[in-house]
Amino acid sequence: MPVNRALFDEVMVPNYNPAAIIPVKGKGSRVWDQEDREFVDFAGGIAVSCLGHCHPAMVNALTEQANKLWHLSNVMTNEPALRLAKKLTDATFADRVYFANSGAEANEAALKLARRWALDHFGEEKNQIIAFHKGFHGRTFFTVTVGGQAAYSDGFGPKPGAIEHVTFNDLSSLEAVMSDKTCAVMIEPLQGEGGVVPGEREFLKGVRELCDRYNALLIFDEVQTGFGRTGSLYAYEQTGVTPDILSSAKALGGGFPIGAMLTTAKIAEHLKVGTHGSTYGGNPLGCAVAEAVMDVVNTDEVLQGVKKREQLFKDALHAINDKHNVFAEVRGQGLLLGAALNENYQGKARDFLVAAAEEGLMVLVAGLDVVRFTPSLIIPEADISEGMARFERAVERVVRAQQG
Ligand SMILES: *Cc1c(COP(=O)(O)O)cnc(C)c1O
């Protein structure tokens, strides 16, 4: 039986349309497909593979734990989960952690906690959740409804209620709908899927002040921005704003599925025994890997390295743009970067992704108009220059096709 892209259409639900190539092996920031074609990885599995592929620290942690203990359920706790939670609380504003298996589940827990906190303190009326247009929070029905793209939540019957959307980076649009009924505001400090759009400093400060004024919880969705991606362990550290609840996933496990919701002791109290849970959440394998990832990522060396690589990426993208004039703007923070296409290439981000793959480079898009880069946080400089050489050839392909 040939295992190829055609088999996907035979046996998989058609909710994805993956590329024709099937990678079989990765090391650092290089990946090889079934034909042994080699790729430079600027995608990092969508901001997940923060230490590249098969980093020895992760492989060791996983193999060691795999030979010790895989699973217990939450009837019992385990050492890796407790060690990881201790490190996360030591390193952040938070005092308590809830473990899940994905970003959506971490956000689901955050939203349920916020609703329960508001109910306990203020009663049933305080249930409004406000989020932002183009925001993305996952695909469970609650989180996708809080997300700011109705197209993702339409067509599944009645939605969870009392959810409002306002404009990102526009404080007055938030102020207009906020009231004592607002239970929480959920926001990405830098919108990832929505086009790599940083939240402005004054805006984020204003959001915090409005939450304080109306006794609403501020939830930072750091699933994409977190775990070193923007050059600090979490992006909030650079905003001057501290959230009440923070969700983390993606890079947290470096490629092993794990999510976490972080909050203060006072708020956490409201998730009493039996109110929420998960069979796998906090399992020893995921927590052992995440602990190993954190030991590497949460160091000056890696976090400052992110800033240095940010500059290398931005310089290379500007140089390509000086020659080929395809971007209106290069934006983002750390290694969550977006090249927004100029008016001549609107709607064509996918063409750049396809051309890059043909040149042996994996990149991402964020919407129709932005090429997105979320490589390993420790990508070697040689791989950055080789990847950018390939990207330039990809840009040339698109420009040629455009000129017909
Ligand atoms: C990817 C992402 C999610 C969803 O995470 P999953 O692990 O796919 O459930 C939620 N929020 C943000 C900001 C994300 O980028």
Q: Is 136 marked active-site?
A: yes
Q: How far is the CA of 191 from the centre of ligand 1 (A)?
A: 11
The answer on 309 and 341 residing in a single domain is: yes
**Integer CA distances (angstroms), 395 to 243, 326, 350, 384, in order:** 40, 8, 12, 16
**pLDDT tens digits along 91-146:** 999 999 999 999 999 999 999 999 999 999 999 999 999 999 999 999 999 999 99
Confidence of residue 42 (pLDDT cuts 50, 70, 90): very high
Residues 273 and 310 both lie in one domain: no
* Helix or strand holding residue 219 (H, E): strand 217-221
For residues 327-356, give the mean pLDDT.
98
Question: What CATH number does residue 130 fall under?
Answer: 3.40.640.10
Cβ atoms of 399 and 77 closer than 8 Å: no
* Nearest by Cα to 276 from 396, 17, 96, 8: 96
Take residue 363 and report the two structure tokens written for it: 């990149």
Known catalytic residue: 348?
Answer: no
Neighbours of 402 (CB within 10 A): 12
Which amino acid residue places its CA nearest to atom 15 of ligand 1?
Answer: 224
149 in the same domain as 206:
yes
CA of 323 from ligand 1 middle (Å) equals 35
- In short, whether 188's Cβ falls inside 6 Å of ligand 1 is yes
pTM: 0.98
Mutation pick for ligand 1 pocket among 50, 136, 143 (CB with most ligand atoms within 8 Å)? 136
Whether ligand 1 lies within 6 angstroms of the CB of 352 is answered as no
DSSP line for 125-156: T--EEEEETT----SSHHHHHHSS-HHHHTTS
pLDDT at 1: 85
Measured CA to CA, the distance from residue 366 to residue 289 in angstroms comes to: 28
Catalytic residue among 39, 136, 142, 327: 136
Average pLDDT (291-317) is 98
State the helix-helix crossing angle for 284-297 and 56-66, rounded to 10 degrees. 150
φ and ψ at residue 86, rounded to 5 degrees:
-65, -45
Task: Read off the pLDDT of residues 10-37 as tens digits, 9 standing for 90 and up.
Answer: 999 999 999 999 999 999 999 999 999 9
Give yes or no: residues 243 and 381 share one domain.
no
Q: 77: Cβ–Cβ under 8 A, 6 or more apart, which residues?
A: 282
Domain end residue (candidates: 236, 263, 297): 297
Distance CA 303, CA 305 (A): 5
- Are 95 and 157 within one domain? yes
Give the residue among 190, 201, 260 at the shortest CA–CA distance from 225: 190
d(C-alpha 390, C-alpha 64), whole Å: 38
Reply yes or no on whether the pLDDT at 8 is more than 90: yes
Q: How far is the CA of 17 from the centre of ligand 1 (A)?
A: 19
Average pLDDT over residues 249-265: 98
State in Å: Cα 103 to ligand 1 middle: 4
Which H helix or E strand runs over 82?
helix 79-91
**Are residue 69 and residue 44 in the same domain, yes or no?**
no
Q: Could you tell me the residue range of the domain that residue 77 belongs to? A: 57-297
Which pLDDT does position 225 carry in this prediction?
A: 98
CATH number of the domain that residue 340 is part of: 3.90.1150.10
d(CA 138, CA 146): 9
Q: Which atom of ligand 1 is nearest to the CA of 221?
A: 13
Ligand 1 atom nearest the C-alpha of 143 is: 10
Which ligand 1 atom sits nearest the alpha carbon of residue 135? Answer: 13
Tens digits of per-residue pLDDT, 69-80? 999 999 999 999
Q: Are residues 339 and 292 in the same domain?
A: no
H/E stretch holding 365 reads strand 364-365
Ligand 1 pocket, residue 196 CB under 6 Å? no
The pLDDT-based confidence of 404 (bands split at 50, 70, 90) is confident
pLDDT over 90 (residue 165):
yes
221 in catalytic set: yes
The rounded Å distance from CA 140 to ligand 1 centre is: 10
- pLDDT value at position 104? 98
Q: Give pLDDT tens digits for 268-290.
A: 999 999 999 999 999 999 999 99
Contact by Cβ (8 Å): 122, 215: yes
Q: What is the pLDDT of residues 46-57, one digit of tens each?
A: 999 999 999 999
Identify whether residues 68 and 107 lie together within a single domain.
Answer: yes
Residues 174 and 137 in one domain: yes
C-alpha 44 – ligand 1 centre gap (Å): 14
Is the domain of 155 the same as that of 288? yes
Domain boundary (256, 275, 297) is at 297
Residue nearest to atom 4 of ligand 1 (CA): 138
Using most ligand atoms within 8 A of CB, pick from 188, 197, 250 the residue to mutate for ligand 1: 250
CB contact set of 33 (below 8 Å; sequence gap of 6+): 21, 22, 23, 24, 39
pLDDT in tens, 199-232: 999 999 999 999 999 999 999 999 999 999 999 9
Task: Give the span between the Cα atoms of 379 and 57, in whole angstroms.
Answer: 15
Any ligand 1 atom below 6 A from CB of 221:
yes
Q: Which of 297, 315, 346 is the last residue of a domain?
A: 297
Same domain for 13 and 71? Answer: no
Same domain, 61 and 42: no
Q: What percent of the chain has pLDDT over 90?
A: 99
Rounded to the nearest angstrom, the distance between the alpha carbon of 258 and the centre of ligand 1 is 11
Spatial distance between the Cα atoms of 190 and 232, rounded to a whole number of angstroms: 13
Exposed/middle/buried for residue 14 (C-beta within 10 Å: 0-12, 13-18, 19+):
exposed
User: How many domains, the chain?
Assistant: 2
Q: Which of 48, 9, 3, 37 is nearest to 376 (CA)?
A: 48
Atom of ligand 1 nearest to the CA of 192: 15
Q: Which residues pair with 340 in a beta bridge?
A: 329, 370
Question: Do 228 and 50 meet the contact criterion of CB atoms below 8 Å apart?
Answer: yes
pLDDT at 58 over 90: yes
Give the C-alpha distances (Å, rounded to integers) separating 317 from 261, 331, 362, 363: 35, 10, 15, 13
H/E segment holding residue 2: none
Average pLDDT, rounded, for the chain: 98
